[in-house]
A and B are shown apart, each in its own frame.
Chain A
């Protein structure tokens, strides 16, 4: 079992405080609230209308980490939702049935609008259709086409911009009573780009040996502000500056990554991880890694909201709506499988990882469908071994600690064998 004492850096504490502050704003009744999704979210645009950003995936994660999601999911299943479908959706619906209490203990208000940003995940469409049944509030769809040939086309970009101009923005104006000001959006995007520069710098520091950070378990915390309600704010800029200073200090001191139990004493394995983490046993899951000296040097999950470190995307105040369109189009799960394979293989090579580990999530088809082929393709491209484990997002019934641990141990033995055969150099 995990130790009860948790070591947290100042940036982690700040991140926690920021997320808490957003919940206080949402539940205050002082702001209009829009529910929307993490991938390709339009936080800067919502800020132009003083609309608070409530993200149901984050609520489900919060409930899972507090061990509350299991009961919510079974309640939703009792109400007629299939065992087979996304557990984020069922945790959200189960939470509504239990009074819709936010992590700060206060009830969520009904949203003033649902911004159905249909980006990289089919389930989003059904999820907000289900919520619309309950809330009967204005619902606006932003359909982001799939970048099926690896790169977005002008037709896709134009389609998104047109939806923003003619459908999304008018609904936001109506809900908020605030007229759209493109210069306000430009200013937020300028701030976004500033924070994004430090974010990318941070992601690239795991190229160091030992890596000063973990880009999966630790990455979840580092991603918090940029992928939730803070992109475009001064707070996000300050947060990433603080994080940068912390990482610079760790590099200067030659420290391995930080874990909930302090600094990892020795880095033995460097991994790239594909797929979201399990949230119900997040700490135990992480512990399996750091107890074996494994650090995640890059992960696809740190790209779930948007991709900055692959093709140098930054929000561009000179082309505000086009820039939002490109952000949505570039979301990791909105890219085709060959591109995802290319990104993972590049990560394995550039971060000098020992291989690719896939955490395949039962209820996330967007990530999971095709991962077995992806693993083999990355192995072919890198010559490094891959491994496959299976868990779920927020359903505790699908986390089998013994199975996951066995597979990880076998994988590390495989890496050791490869090293002995000269296939992969020692990490640190």
Chain B
């Protein structure tokens, strides 16, 4: 167990976050000849398969707030979100040249079509569009999904030049089970003591998990929890909010900091849902692909990109989060031009209105720079909750 302080841990995570060349992943690849790296985009990816193939799953979440997009705008019209243009910028400026393959999970038409751009522009790379079922019956969506997993596994085996055994998969599943458990502990810790685990720190911790090997990331989470508990930080008179809409294109780090500075502790969010998409530990015996399938069908998070079969259940995940995290309200922060987040939002808003739960809405791009309006809006929201809330 590391004896690093919170600041040292977060400084390391910040360095990983700032590094658009993914040096840590490059170092991992260079350390052993023949290693391979597979990039994946939001929202969900069964990283266990990539890991079991001996490869590094690398979460690609756009170029962030500071990367200048020069070429990307020639690939995308102004009325499309920013994540595809900054992702293509990363690729054509060579920052992903060490990545052996890219996987694009089904989330929206923009990311779907980005898979086609990869097919057109990077013909020497492994490219896979990974379709997730919108039917959750074991015999229908389940059969489809297990076959998709099998195809994906075969593709990885071909790339790796070796078979992925069930034993390897069980080991990888166990490692990701452990990682998810520690991710959840961090989220629980933040919800219980948000002044000890600021949102920006938790965010940077999770971002590090997009780059680091899972074993290393789990250790980092353990270290952080120990270090944060040892840190003496003041409790502020903030309200408690759940942040929704940030599941794909990422909010600027300054946005998260601004919300907390304005008086809103973030006690839950939907950033990087891949880290906690599966809500229960996946069994480590039996058929591993069946186990991953059942976990996806029956124990996965709800998000705008996933169809909710039952009208009565729509919004349950958000409402449970509000209750579990004892949140006072919700901030909907959606990326501009994000169809899933923006089309889902009115339905979620209705559920809050029905229950008298306060909310505000805002939009951002990953490179939004002006935080003053955000601070003012969030500050007013926090004040209104503190002044008028029944609690």
A365 touches B80 (CB 8 A): yes
Measured CA separation A133–B347 after assembly (Å) = 8
A382 within 8 A of partner (CB): no
Q: Chain B residues near A166 (CB, 8 Å)? A: 137, 139-140
**B109, A129: Cβ atoms under 8 Å?**
no
B319 at interface (Cβ–Cβ under 8 A)?
A: no
Tell me whether A422 is interfacial, beta carbon within 8 Å. no
> How many residues of chain B are within 8 Å of chain A by beta carbon?
58
**Pick the contact of A370 from B117, B309, B314, B344 — CB < 8 Å?**
B117
Question: Which A residue's beta carbon lies closest to that of B304?
Answer: A126
B224 → chain A closest CB, angstroms:
36
Q: A84-B342, A122-B108 are in contact. Are A373 and B121 (CB under 8 A)?
A: yes
Residue of A nearest to B306 (CB): A125
**Which of B55-63, B126-134, B186-194, B228-236 is near enough to bind chain A?**
B126-134
Asked if B28 lies at the interface with its beta carbon under 8 angstroms from chain A, I say no
Is B339 a contact of A372 with CB atoms below 8 Å? no
Contact B109 A366 (CB under 8 A): yes
Smallest Cβ distance from A136 to chain B, in angstroms?
7
How many Å from the CB of B285 to the closest CB on chain A?
26
B343 contacts A369, C-beta separation under 8 Å: no
CB closest residue in chain B, given A133: B347
Residue of B nearest to A362 (CB): B79
A residues less than 8 Å from B357 (CB atoms)? none
Report the minimum CB–CB distance from A192 to chain B (whole Å).
Answer: 26
In the assembled complex, the CB of B121 is this many whole angstroms from the nearest CB of chain A, namely 7
Q: Given known contacts A84-B342, A130-B347, A133-B311, is B119 in contact with A338 (CB within 8 Å)?
A: yes
Q: Which residues of chain B have C-beta atoms less than 8 A from A141's C-beta?
A: 134-135, 307, 309
- Residue in contact with A130 in the complex, picked from B109, B141, B346, CB distance below 8 Å: B346
* Interchain CB contact under 8 A, B347 and A372: no
Instruction: Name the CB-closest residue of B to A126.
Output: B343
Q: Given A373-B120, A390-B77, do A162 and B343 touch, yes or no (CB 8 Å)?
A: no
Q: CA of A146 to CA of B110 in the docked complex: distance in angstroms?
A: 13
CB of A372 within 8 A of CB of B75, answer yes
Bound complex: CA A155 to CA B107 (Å) = 20
- B residues 276-326 with Cβ under 8 Å of A? 304-305, 307-309, 311, 314
Instruction: Name the A residues within 8 Å of B314 (CB-CB).
Output: 129
- In whole angstroms, what is the CA distance A372 to B137 when docked? 39
Interface string of A116-127 (1 = CB under 8 A from B): 101001110111
Collect the chain B residues with CB atoms within 8 Å of residue A208's CB: none
B250 interfacial contact with A, CB 8 Å: no
Other-chain contact of B108, A139, A156, A363, A365 (Cβ < 8 Å): A365
Q: Roughly how many angstroms separate A270 CA and B163 CA in the complex, as a whole number?
A: 53
A337-389 with Cβ < 8 A to chain B? 337-338, 340-341, 360, 362-363, 365-366, 368-373, 377
B151 touches A (CB below 8 Å): yes
A297 proximal to B (CB < 8 A) = no
Residue pair A163, B109 in contact (C-beta under 8 Å):
no
Task: Report B-chain residues with C-beta under 8 Å of the C-beta of A338.
Answer: 116, 119-120
Cβ of B346 and Cβ of A81 under 8 Å apart?
yes
Q: Quick check: is B42 within 8 A (CB to CB) of the other chain?
A: no
Tell me, in angstroms, the Cα distance from A163 to B136 when the chains sit together. Answer: 11
Name the A residues within 8 Å of B307 (CB-CB): 116, 118, 125, 129, 141, 143
Contact with B along A137-160 (1 / 0, CB 8 A): 001010101101100010110110
Q: Out of B137, B336, B339, B363, which one reaches A122, CB within 8 Å?
A: B339
Interfacial chain B residues near A156, Cβ < 8 Å: 144
Q: In the bound complex, do residue A372 and residue B74 qualify as a contact, i.e. CB atoms below 8 Å apart?
A: yes
- Asked if B84 is at the interface (CB within 8 A of a chain A CB), the reply is yes
Is there a chain A Cβ closer than 8 Å to B23's Cβ?
no
Determine which residue in A84, A136, A146, A336 has the highest number of CB atoms from chain B within 10 A of its CB, and name it: A84
For residue A401, CB closer than 8 A to chain B, the reply is: no
Asked, given contacts A84-B337, A132-B311, A146-B106, whether A369 binds B115 with beta carbons under 8 Å apart, the answer is: no
Question: Which residue on B lies nearest to A76, using beta carbons?
Answer: B346
Give complex CA distance A149, B129 in Å. Answer: 8
Q: Are A337 and B347 closer than 8 Å at their CB atoms?
A: no
**Residues of A within 8 A of B (CB-CB), count:** 56
B345 proximal to A (CB < 8 A): yes
- Chain A, Cβ-Cβ closest to B337: A84
For B363, list chain A residues within 8 Å (CB).
82, 84
Query: What is the distance, in angstroms, from A224's C-beta to the closest C-beta of chain B?
Result: 25
Bound-state CA distance A207–B357 (Å) is 62
Q: Is the Cβ of B120 less than 8 Å from the Cβ of A377?
A: yes
User: Does B147 belong to the interface (CB within 8 Å)?
Assistant: yes
Q: Which residue of B lies closest to A128 (CB)?
A: B307
Closest-by-CB residue of B relative to A363 is B79
- Closest-by-CB residue of A relative to B118 is A337
A145 in complex: contacting residue of B108, B131, B309, CB < 8 Å: B131
Which residue in chain B gives the minimum CB-CB distance to A89? B343
Q: Are A133 and B350 in contact (CB under 8 A)?
A: yes
A379 shortest CB reach to chain B, Å: 13
Please report which residues of chain A, range 24-83, place their CB below 8 angstroms from some CB of chain B when the two chains form the complex. Answer: 79-82
- Contact present for B151 and A155 (CB under 8 Å): yes
Q: How far is the CA of A350 from the CA of B304 in the complex (A)?
A: 42
Write out the residue numbers on chain B whose beta carbons fall within 8 Å of the beta carbon of A84.
79, 336-339, 342, 363
Given contacts A86-B339, A126-B343, contact A158 B143 (CB under 8 A): yes
The residue of chain A having its C-beta at the shortest distance from the C-beta of B361 within the complex is A80
Interface residue ranges of B50-105 to A (CB < 8 Å): 74-77, 79-80, 84
Residues of A contacting B308 with CB < 8 Å? 129
Q: Does B334 contact A (CB under 8 A)?
A: yes
Report yes or no: A167 in contact with B140, Cβ–Cβ below 8 A.
Answer: yes
In the complex, are the beta carbons of B342 and A146 less than 8 A apart? Answer: no
Whether B116 and A159, one on each chain, are in contact in the complex, defined by CB atoms closer than 8 angstroms, is no
Contact B339–A365 (Cβ < 8 Å): yes
A329 CB, nearest partner CB in chain B, Å:
12
With beta carbons under 8 angstroms apart, the residue of A82, A143, A155, A163 that contacts B148 is A155
Please tell me if the beta carbons of A369 and B148 are within 8 angstroms of each other in the complex. no
Among B112, B139, B311, B342, max chain A CB count under 10 A is at B112
Shortest Cβ gap from B307 to chain A (Å): 6
Decide: B346 and A143 in contact? CB cutoff 8 A. no
Which chain B residues border A366 with CB–CB below 8 Å? 109, 113
- Starting from the known contacts A122-B112, A130-B343, 4 additional A-B residue pairs (CB-CB under 8 Å) come to A143-B135, A146-B112, A369-B110, A373-B75
28 contacts between A and B (CB under 8 A): A79-B346, A82-B334, A84-B338, A85-B342, A86-B339, A86-B343, A122-B109, A126-B340, A126-B343, A130-B347, A132-B311, A143-B307, A146-B106, A146-B112, A148-B112, A149-B129, A159-B135, A159-B141, A163-B135, A166-B140, A336-B115, A337-B119, A368-B80, A370-B75, A370-B114, A373-B75, A373-B120, A373-B121
